């Protein structure tokens, strides 16, 4: 399944993407903000990700490509309450150009219109202003703070901010 907005495409990952995933996931910001990313991030980690063997991140995982080049990742897990939980990253040299905002809009539209989901949520670190801005630009509302919510591999225990989007709120 593929989703498209002009030159931006969301498509399934393939094993050919492993080198791009390894390079992206060793980026300092991606490692700092996303606790489920192993560090260092190896080819085996990327292969397991592409093959759907990583637990807890959801089965709907897409490469974000721009004119055919991998520039990011966006994915979603869906629970029994028809709620999707979204996560994303963007490669360093493609940041600040709206790539993740456009990708998130595509995924949210697919989640509501094609999958019939009734709530989408995402969490960010309280200090991750870039990610919060992406969520807000698409219409997500800030709900509150989950205290001492996530343990990072480097031992940091951090709060999370919960954002949600309901049908009809996508902008
Ligand atoms: C967060 C991230 C996905 C954003 O991707 P992106 O493609 O650069 O996002 P966009 O260009 O669509 O939008 C970024 C917005 O955040 C803003 N922003 C970025 N850094 C910011 C900061 N430190 N403080 C405030 N706003 C910030 C940008 O100005 C932009 O908003 P604007 O369009 O109103 O100017 C990317 O920086 C990233 O991959 N970071 C590391 C991994 C990560 O944090 N993932 C999310 C975990 S919840």
pLDDT tens-digit map of 159-168: 999 999 999 9
pLDDT score for 94: 98
Phi-psi region of 108 (alpha: psi -120 to 50; beta: other; left: phi over 0): alpha
**Tens digits of per-residue pLDDT, 30-55?**
999 999 999 999 999 999 999 999 98
Give the tokens for residue 95: 């940041």
Q: What's the number of CA atoms in the CB half-sphere (13 Å) around residue 81?
A: 6
Q: Is 97 in the pocket of ligand 1 (CB under 6 A)?
A: yes
88 lines ligand 1 (CB under 6 A): yes
CATH of domain 3-118: 3.40.630.30
Q: Give me 76's structure tokens.
A: 């979603």
Domain segments of the chain as ranges: 3-118
Q: How many other C-beta atoms are found inside a 10 Å radius of the C-beta of residue 76?
A: 25
Residue 131 clears pLDDT 90, i.e. is over it: yes
CA-to-CA distance for 49 and 47, rounded, in angstroms?
Answer: 5
pLDDT in tens, 53-110: 998 888 899 999 999 999 999 999 999 999 999 999 999 999 999 999 999 999 999 9
**Hey, which of 33, 87, 96, 99 would you mutate to test ligand 1's pocket, going by the most ligand atoms within 8 Å of its Cβ?**
96
Which residues, in sequence order, are bridge partners of residue 83?
Answer: 119
Tokens of 138: 């698409």
Radius of gyration of the chain (CA): 15
Atom of ligand 1 nearest to the CA of 89: 39
- What are the helix (H) ranges across 59-115? 99-113
Residue 33 in contact with ligand 1 by CB distance below 6 A: yes
Q: What is the pLDDT of residues 145-154, one digit of tens each?
A: 999 999 998 8
**124 near 131, Cβ under 8 Å?**
yes
The whole-number pLDDT of residue 154 equals 87
Q: Is 69 in the pocket of ligand 1 (CB under 6 A)?
A: no
| Tokens encoding 140 | 């997500």
State both tokens at 94: 């493609």
pLDDT score recorded for residue 59: 86
* 158 CB within 6 A, ligand 1: no
How many CB atoms sit inside 10 A of residue 33's CB? 18
């Amino acid at each position: 399944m593929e989703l498209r907005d002009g030159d931006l495409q969301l498509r399934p990952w393939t094993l050919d993407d492993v080198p791009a995933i390894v390079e992206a996931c060793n980026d300092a910001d991606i490692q700092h903000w996303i606790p489920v990313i192993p560090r260092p991030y190896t080819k085996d980690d990327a292969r397991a990700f592409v093959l759907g063997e990583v637990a807890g991140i959801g089965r709907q995982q897409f490469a974000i490509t721009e004119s055919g080049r991998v520039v990011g990742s966006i994915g979603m897990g869906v629970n029994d309450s028809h709620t999707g939980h979204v996560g994303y990253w963007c490669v360093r040299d493609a940041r600040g150009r709206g790539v993740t905002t456009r990708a998130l809009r595509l995924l949210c539209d697919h989640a509501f219109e094609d999958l019939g989901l009734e709530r989408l949520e995402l969490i960010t670190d309280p200090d991750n202003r870039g990610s919060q801005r992406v969520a807000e630009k698409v219409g997500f509302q800030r709900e509150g703070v989950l205290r001492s919510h996530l343990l990072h591999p480097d031992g940091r225990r951090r709060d999370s901010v919960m954002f949600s989007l309901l049908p009809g709120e996508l902008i």
